[in-house]
Each structure stands twice: as structure tokens, then as C-alpha cells.
Amino acid sequence: MDCKVKINRRDCLTGAAALIAAASTSGCDKEAPEAMIDDSLPSSGFTKKSTAEDVTLGLDLSGQVALITGCNSGLGLETMRVLALRGAHVIGTGRTMNKAQKACDSITGTATPFELELTNLDSVRNCVENIFQRGLTPNMVICNAGINTFGDLELVQGIEKTFFVNFLGHFVLVNHILPKMIENGSGRFVHVSSRSAYKQAPSVGIDFDNLRGEGKFDSGEAYGRSKLANALFSLELSRRLQGTGLTSNAIHPGLVLTNIARSAPTFIRKAFDFLGPYVAKTPAEGAATQVYVATNPALDEISGLFFENSNAVIIKGKHFLNDQSMAEALWGVAKEMADGYLT
Ligand SMILES: NC(=O)c1ccc[n+]([C@@H]2O[C@H](COP(=O)([O-])OP(=O)(O)OC[C@H]3O[C@@H](n4cnc5c(N)ncnc54)[C@H](OP(=O)(O)O)[C@@H]3O)[C@@H](O)[C@H]2O)c1
């Protein structure tokens, strides 16, 4: 995008500053949590520049079924494209059948579209029923769909919308699919979280008394909370899956040029478009970590970890990613919120 043509220089710089602040929420705080490669595991050999094609080079995924939510845009579309390229049968979900169908038609390989609107738990339940009716059981589930919010508090069935879409909808989806995957005795869950889970979440982690908009609303914290919920869901799921042959891990894809900032004020979106190519990953690079964690044979028994740049990381500093009691409490609260929609 030509910054000079579309917006003036001042807007561009102000937007750029806002973008950088959003991308690096730690600022100069030396105590802010930071990710470091977990060297208790062998390095994958991949870096932040590796693409989803790079991390799957030579892999044959024929016979595998991969479910990816939000397949029509950004990371979801690239993930679907590469998994299908390597031979997997992809179940691609979109908020409407039309969006899912168009995305599936746009790639080479086998992809079957399904409708999934995460703000509607009937839609979530129906989606899983439709998948099973087609005789498909996933070997890998990539909980990818998500929103960021830059506006005011919105509620879905009385629950803060970002939390509902990014976490609660996927909680119901996974719980419906789980029994059949456990019957199969193997499978992977990949939760697309974010660095915001440890940089932008509320200072207490999940603030259970503010999930229905009871307290103050901060859109950055709301996104951080929802992404922490993704990571804690993965942690508790991993604990519950011990001994089943199934695994669950969470990932941060990096700052990636996708449509995620679609609801941001215009000047931030324009700055994102302008600066993105210098500071952000391409979707091909951004999709690498989730594709790596979903498919790499070396990770067959790796569960309950957090990945960045296709490597497991540990986070130094104050954060809640490994807080098992918060993860258990979140599971309990989610069960109550989804009452009537779980089997
Ligand atoms: N891009 C980044 O820098 C970045 C950084 C960290 C984490 N992430 C995470 O990466 C994931 C993928 O995002 P992206 O960057 O690829 O963004 P994107 O291009 O905006 O794609 C988001 C996808 O989620 C779908 N979605 C949104 N609301 C939904 C709902 N209510 N029900 C079902 N699907 C819904 C969208 O469908 P529609 O197109 O129909 O709305 C779209 O397919 C998200 O979980 C995001 O939080 C992204």
C-alpha cells in the first residue's frame, strides 16, 4: 500500500506507533515475560522464516483427516492449503457454507467444507454432527478461527464476545469430537493462541468475575484473556488426555499479515498494511508453527507445551500459561457456560 496516497504521514506514523505497541506489549519493562526456546527438547531446526511448506517437506499425510477452523482467511487458509498439498483430507470450516466452499475450492487436494459459526453453539454442535455423518473423524484438530477486538464490550449469550469466539466455541467443538478421536487412539489438538496470552492478559490471569462484562472492559486485555484461555484449555486437555495416545499443544504464530486487524480503526489497519511487510510474517511463515505441531512425527508424544517459531518455548517472567489450577477452574466454568451443549 502507498502510505502517502491513502493516508497522511502523521496518521501513518501514529498508526505505526500503535501497531508496534500492540505487537510488543512488553515495552521497556524488563520484568515482562519473554519466550525462550525450551532446550530440554531437540531443536526442530526451523526458524521464524520457515514456512508451512518448509516444515512439512517430505511428509506424506495421505489417509490423515485434518480439521481446521476459519479456513477462509489468513492462517487458516494457508494451513488448509499446505495440509492438503501434503495429502491430508482437510475439513475446512467457515462461518457460512459459501465461505467454506469457496476456500476449499481454491486449493489443490481434498478439502470438504462445513459451516461453523462459533458464536452459535447450535452451529458448533451441528458442525460436528455433520462431519461424523460424512464418515469423517479427524486425526488432527487445529482450533484456529479467531477475532481481535478494538472496540467496546460486546456480549454473546451474556458472555464477552472475544472469549466466546476464541475459546468457548472451540471448547464445545473439541468436547464433541473428543470421544471419537479417543476411540481411534491417536490424534492431535493444536490451539492457536498468541503471545498476548502472556503479555496482554489481565494481571490475575483469567479474571473469572469479569467474563460477562461485569467489570471494566479493555479490548487488549479481552484478547489476551481469550488467548490465555486457549493455552489453558490446551494444558488441561493435555492432562485429561494422558494415556489416550492423543496430544494437545498451544502455539503463537507470530505477528502475521492477515485480516485479524479488520475491526481496528482505519489508521491502525493502514499502518499494519504499510509496516506489516517489514515487521510481520507472511501467512506462509505464520502458518508454519501450527502445521509443524499438527504433523511433525517427532512430536507424537509431546503434549501440554507452548510453541513459537516451530519450537517449544518456556516463558520467563510472570505468566499463567502453566497454571494447572487456573486451567482446571476454566474448564469447570466453560462447562457451566456451555450447559446444555455438551454431551
Ligand atoms: N495474525 C496475527 O498476527 C496473529 C497473532 C497471534 C495469534 N493469531 C491468531 O491466529 C488465528 C487466525 O487468525 P488470522 O490472523 O488468520 O486472522 P483472519 O485472517 O482474520 O482469520 C480469522 C478466521 O477466523 C474466522 N472467524 C472469525 N470469527 C468467527 C466466528 N464467530 N465463527 C467462526 N469463525 C470465525 C474468520 O472468518 P470470517 O473471515 O468469515 O470472519 C477467519 O476465517 C486467530 O486465532 C488469531 O487470534 C493471529
The verdict on whether 223 is a catalytic residue reads yes
Residue by residue, DSSP assigns 102-155 as: HHHHTSSSEEEEEE--TT-HHHHHHHHHHHHHTT---SEEEE-------SS--E
For 5, residues 6+ apart whose C-beta sits below 8 A from its C-beta are: none
Pick the atom of ligand 1 nearest to 261's CA.
20
Q: Model's pTM, two decimal places?
A: 0.94
Would 7 be classed as within a structural domain? Answer: no
Q: Distance, CA 308 to ligand 1 centroid (Å)? A: 18
For residue 295, give the nearest of 183, 145, 139 by alpha carbon.
139
Choose the catalytic residue: 198, 223, 278, 292.
223
Number of domains in the chain: 1
Would 185 be classed as within a structural domain? Answer: yes
Domain containing 314 equals 44-254+284-337
For residue 144, give the nearest of 88, 72, 243, 212 by alpha carbon.
72
Distance of CA 29 to the CA centre of its chain: 26
Would 293 be classed as within a structural domain? Answer: yes
Would 297 be classed as within a structural domain? Answer: yes
Pick the atom of ligand 1 nearest to 69's CA.
34
d(CA 102, CA 116): 14
pLDDT in tens, 282-316: 999 999 999 999 999 999 999 999 999 999 999 99
pLDDT in tens, 154-165: 999 999 999 999
Q: Distance, CA 15 to ligand 1 centroid (Å)? A: 21
What's residue 29's pLDDT?
Answer: 60
What residues line ligand 1, using a CB cutoff of 6 Å? 70, 72-76, 94-95, 99, 116-119, 144-147, 165-166, 192, 194, 252-253, 255-256, 258-260, 262
Would 29 be classed as within a structural domain? Answer: no
pLDDT in tens, 206-259: 999 999 999 999 999 999 999 999 999 999 999 999 999 999 999 999 999 999
For residue 168, give the nearest of 343, 335, 312 by alpha carbon.
335
| CATH number, domain with residue 190 | 3.40.50.720
* Strand positions, DSSP E, 231-316: 246-252, 306-308, 311-316
